[in-house]
Structure 1
Amino acid sequence: MKTVAFVPVKLNNQRTPGKNTKKFDDGVALITVFLKTLVKVSNLDELYVFCSDETIKDYLLPGVKFLKRPEYLDTQAATPQDIMAEFIKLVDADIYMVAHCTSPFVTKEHFEECIDAVKSGKHDSSFTGEKIQKLMWKDNEPLNFNAEKVPRTQDLPAIYAEVSAAYVFKKEVFLNYNRRIGITPHITEVSGVESIDIDYPEDFEIANAVYMKVLNSTNK
């Protein structure tokens, strides 16, 4: 089954302008750090960066293909479904993985787990997710526990927050449901630094601190 990954990138982000090419303190850009992991994923046939601006080519690695996308996909009106539909129209595959570089610390093994879950035939889709077991409140009321008998957090029912590093799906899932998660998804659980997702400038500062700490520890 042909499996293709693509990293959608726009350079005019509203919340954190230029975040995809923003450089960590060692001078390496976020997108490049992310691609260093993706190029090692063994169960991918092709890997693309899908961007309207050809200057992104300066940040790519050997083995990564550039595919120019229409500029309308950079607008606020464009949806994730619009981006996926355009890519699927241009590149044929049996299985697709949409990978977002704003979650730069997910491991090669977890990307491979996501893909293998769909390739196995047991799941029509998969995604990376963070397991959450916390005492939650909504509208000044406990949401997932009895305030008169507070449970241990490890005894709470687990819920999962999507981590945008990877969404893997069969082509027919998108064609049939117009979405990236199907009816029988597998959740690849990530935690700790892997669950870091960069939306705002302060998120990048946290990611930079983590990245530099890991880099310094591996260089010792």
Structure 2
Amino acid sequence: MKVVAFVPIKMNNERVPGKNTKRFDDGTPLIQCILKSLVQVPEIDDIYVYCSNEKIKDYLIDGVKYLKRSEKLDTAEATSQDIIQSFMKEVDADVYLLSHATSPFVKKDKFSICINKVVNEGYDSAFTAEKLQNLLWSENKPLNFDAENIPRTQDLVPIYNEVSAAYVFKKETFETLHRRIGVNPYICEVSPVEATDIDYPEDFEIANVLYMNIYKKGE
């Protein structure tokens, strides 16, 4: 099976302008973290960065290809399904791995696990996620526990928070269901550090501390 990974990039983000190319204290652009991991995954045949702005090519590393996309995919109205569908029309594969630069710290073995679960073990998709076993509330009510009989957190039924480092899916899964997670997905658990996601300016400041003090030491 041919496995193709792609990283969609929008150069002008609303909440954190330029976050995908924003540099850590050592000068490394954010986008290079995920690319350095992907190029080390032996199961991947090709890796693309999918971006409308050719300036992104200045940030790519060896082993990564650039594919220009329509500026229409940079608008607020464009959905992840739109981006996936557009990429699939241009690059054919049996299995796709969608990854986002804003989840920079997921280790390369987690990508391999997700791919192998889909290629070799019968899952129609796989994704990285953080397991939550916390006392959660919604609309002023307990979400996952009885307030009159509070359990130990380790006894709670786990809830999984998607981490956007890896969405692996078969071509036919997306073509049939029009979504990146199918009806029989494998959930690949990641650590709290790996679950770091950058949505707001303060998230990048936290990620910078993690990068300089933990991630770099493990390279």
Taking structure 1 as the reference length, the TM-score comes to 0.97
Output one character per residue of 1:5-29: Cα deviation in whole Å (capped at 9) or x when no partner: 0000010111111000000000010
Distance 1:77 1:148 in 2: 44
For residues 159-198 of structure 1, the C-alpha deviation after alignment (integer angstroms, 9 at most, x for no partner) is: 1010000100000111111100001000010121000000
- Per the alignment, residue 18 of structure 1 pairs with 18
Unaligned stretches of 5+ in structure 1? none
2: distance between equivalents of 1:154 and 1:78? 39
Equivalent in the alignment of 1:132: 132
In the alignment of these two chains, the number of paired residues is 219
Paired letter, 2:189: E
Q: Distance in 2 between matches of 1:129 and 1:38?
A: 17
Q: Is the 8 A contact 2:22 2:30 kept in 1?
A: yes
C-alpha distance in 1 between matches for 2:196 and 2:210: 10
Amino acid across the alignment from 2:180: R
Shift of 1:217: 4.1
Correspondence for 1:96: 96
Which digits, 9 at most, give the CA deviation of each residue in 1:93-119, with x for residues without a partner? 000000001000000000110111100
Q: Deviations over 1:10-62 (max 9, x none)?
A: 10111111000000000010001221111101100000000001110111011
1:121, distance to aligned residue in structure 2 (A): 4.1
What is the CA–CA distance in structure 1 between the aligned matches of 2:38 and 2:125, rounded to whole Å?
Answer: 19
Contact kept? 2:105, 2:215, Cα under 8 Å: no
Q: Are 1:183 and 2:183 counterparts?
A: yes
Cα distance in 1 between the residues matched to 2:125 and 2:82: 19
Which TM-score applies when normalising by structure 2?
0.97
Give 5+ residue unaligned stretches, structure 2: none
1:32 partnered with 2:18: no
Q: Deviations over 1:70-99 (max 9, x none)?
A: 111001111101100010000000000000
Report sequence identity in percent: 61
Q: CA deviation at 1:139?
A: 2.2
CA RMSD of aligned residues (A): 1.2
